[in-house]
Amino acid sequence: MEIQEYVDIKNYSTFKIGGQFRYFVVISSIEELSQIYVIAREDVKYKNTPIFILGGGSNIVFSDGVINVVALKIEIKGFEIINETDEYLDIRVGAGENWDDFVKRSVEMNLSGVEAMSIIPGTVGAGPVQNVGAYGVEVKDIILNVEVFDKNINEFKILSNLDCKFGYRDSIFKNEEKDRYIITYVIYRLSKKEPRIPNYPDVLKYFADKNLLNPSLENIREAIIFIRNSKLPDFRRLPNVGSFFKNPIIENILADKLKENYLNIKIFPIDENYSKIPAGWLIENAELKGKSFGNISVYDKSALVLVNNNNASFDDLIYAKNEIIKIVFDKFKITLEQEPEIV
Ligand SMILES: Cc1cc2nc3c(=O)[nH]c(=O)nc-3n(C[C@H](O)[C@H](O)[C@H](O)COP(=O)(O)OP(=O)(O)OC[C@H]3O[C@@H](n4cnc5c(N)ncnc54)[C@H](O)[C@@H]3O)c2cc1C
């Protein structure tokens, strides 16, 4: 285990924005993880430097300059079947495994549960943090347990699905226990039953067009890859962090007013007081789709995604973000909020 200094962040961020990590270590095993915490506690050189956990860097925005952290790049690998019945298989997967490698392997083994989340970038270990999801499925639907290192007591623990308090793009890892746990392994229960077509308009249309009523897992994975590639930019060509803004929750009084003024508006009721409105719809209807703000653009096929066109700086991004928030607010009186964390 080597502690490197002044490591370029751009190589570890799918947005290709950011300065340098003051310290950077690749963690390949749980032994290395405990070891680094002993070093961070006892060695005067690192003692006062906060530890930051990094997966694939696909849901974080990094600032420029030197970020004073010890960045732990989690590369704990593993794919182990730990339990099997006629109906399902429980698999323990290392936090540092690439998420889509895991999805691909599960589909190849004819196990269902993760296929709708094909080609989401990032690592297995980051999945529980924001309860990653797509096309109506979330990791919480298939997670049995999450193995963690508890920084507060320097011990390894197993958390149950319920302990994680999963919500929409939410969990204890993002909120009440932020910075306490490092996820080392995730245990998934995948089904041997016939897969179901994800109940989502684009996916239903894809199979209706093909007249395929009982698609295989491989067919579903292909459909998801096709749909995602037609809407989302490949971060290797056009650096981005996926959805940049959260879908705002607004009061129903405002929702009703908007429905009167915009007949094509998509609003999803939550309860008698609040509704959710797609941030992408707001940005698109503020005529910002495809628009550039310096080196940052609103992606022309999905208004929710901002792309780094040409070596953008953190300041370029903040300028673009603030302009978009202002233009949307002036038009709809709704304030957009950023989704990815800023470090
Ligand atoms: C093109 C594109 C499309 C995307 N589509 C989707 C989508 O459909 N659905 C969706 O939910 N997300 C989507 N995302 C966002 C992103 O892929 C997911 O949030 C992913 O889980 C992030 O994984 P990561 O390994 O890159 O995490 P990182 O960005 O490295 O980290 C994210 C957060 O998790 C923490 N973290 C990472 N690993 C661990 C660990 N082992 N233990 C504890 N904390 C950890 C980090 O500290 C940070 O707070 C998309 C992103 C892109 C670029």
- What is residue 310's predicted lDDT score, i.e. its pLDDT? 82
Stretch 195-209: mean pLDDT: 92
55 and 85 assigned to the same domain: no
- Report the percent of the chain where pLDDT is more than 90: 84
C-alpha 268/C-alpha 272 separation (Å) is 12
CATH code, domain with 290:
3.90.78.10
Q: Of 231, 265, 288, which closes a domain?
A: 231
Stretch 64-69: mean pLDDT: 96
Q: Which of ligand 1's atoms lies nearest the C-alpha of 125?
A: 41
Query: CA 116 from chain center: how many Å?
Result: 14
Confidence of residue 64 (pLDDT cuts 50, 70, 90): very high
Least confident piece of the model among 26-40, 53-67, 204-218, 263-277: 263-277
Alpha carbons within 13 angstroms on the beta-carbon side of residue 186 total 27
> Is the predicted pLDDT of residue 215 greater than 90, yes or no?
yes
Residue 243 lies in a domain: no
Instruction: Judge if the beta carbon of residue 27 lies within 6 A of ligand 1.
Output: no
Instruction: Judge if the beta carbon of residue 340 lies within 6 A of ligand 1.
Output: no
* Number of domains observed in the structure of the chain: 3
Q: Of 231, 260, 288, which closes a domain?
A: 231
> Is the predicted pLDDT of residue 40 greater than 90, yes or no?
no
Residue 41 lies in a domain: yes
User: Euclidean distance between the first and final Cα of the chain, in Å?
Assistant: 24
Q: How long a stretch of residues is the chain?
A: 343
* CA–centroid distance, residue 58 to ligand 1 (Å): 5
∠ CA 211-217-220, nearest 5°, is 50
Instruction: Judge if the beta carbon of residue 187 lies within 6 A of ligand 1.
Output: no
Residue 158 lies in a domain: yes
- What is residue 290's predicted lDDT score, i.e. its pLDDT? 95
Which has more confidence, 327 or 46?
327
Mutate to test the pocket of ligand 1, among 58, 169, 304 (most ligand atoms within 8 A of CB): 58
176 and 102 assigned to the same domain: yes
> Is the predicted pLDDT of residue 68 greater than 90, yes or no?
yes
- Three-state SS string over 37-75 comes to HHHHHHCCCCCCCCEEEECCCCCEECCCCEEEEEEEEEC
Confidence of residue 222 (pLDDT cuts 50, 70, 90): very high
329 and 284 assigned to the same domain: yes
**Are the CB atoms for 74 and 55 separated by under 8 Å?**
yes
Alpha helices in the chain (DSSP H): 30-42, 99-108, 201-210, 217-231, 252-261, 279-285, 314-332
Instruction: Judge if the beta carbon of residue 107 lies within 6 A of ligand 1.
Output: no
Q: Are strands 20-27 and 4-8 parallel, antiparallel or unpaired?
A: antiparallel
156 and 115 assigned to the same domain: yes
102 and 24 assigned to the same domain: no
Q: Of 29, 44, 74, which closes a domain?
A: 74
Instruction: Judge if the beta carbon of residue 306 lies within 6 A of ligand 1.
Output: no
Give 228: exposed, middle or buried? Use CB within 10 Å, 0-12, 13-18, 19+.
middle
- What is residue 45's predicted lDDT score, i.e. its pLDDT? 86
pTM of the full structure? 0.93
Confidence of residue 313 (pLDDT cuts 50, 70, 90): very high
> Is the predicted pLDDT of residue 201 greater than 90, yes or no?
no
Residue 200 lies in a domain: yes
Catalytic residue among 106, 118, 243, 275: 243
Residue 236 lies in a domain: no
CATH code, domain with 19:
3.30.43.10
Q: Which domain holds residue 320?
A: 249-342
Catalytic residue among 75, 115, 147, 339: 339
Query: CA 54 from chain center: how many Å?
Result: 12
210 and 85 assigned to the same domain: yes
- What is residue 237's predicted lDDT score, i.e. its pLDDT? 93
25 and 163 assigned to the same domain: no
243 is catalytic: yes
* CA–centroid distance, residue 126 to ligand 1 (Å): 5
Please identify which residue in the block is written with the tokens 């002036």.
330
117 and 209 assigned to the same domain: yes
Mutate to test the pocket of ligand 1, among 14, 33, 120 (most ligand atoms within 8 A of CB): 120
200 and 116 assigned to the same domain: yes
Confidence of residue 323 (pLDDT cuts 50, 70, 90): very high
3-class DSSP state for residue 223? helix
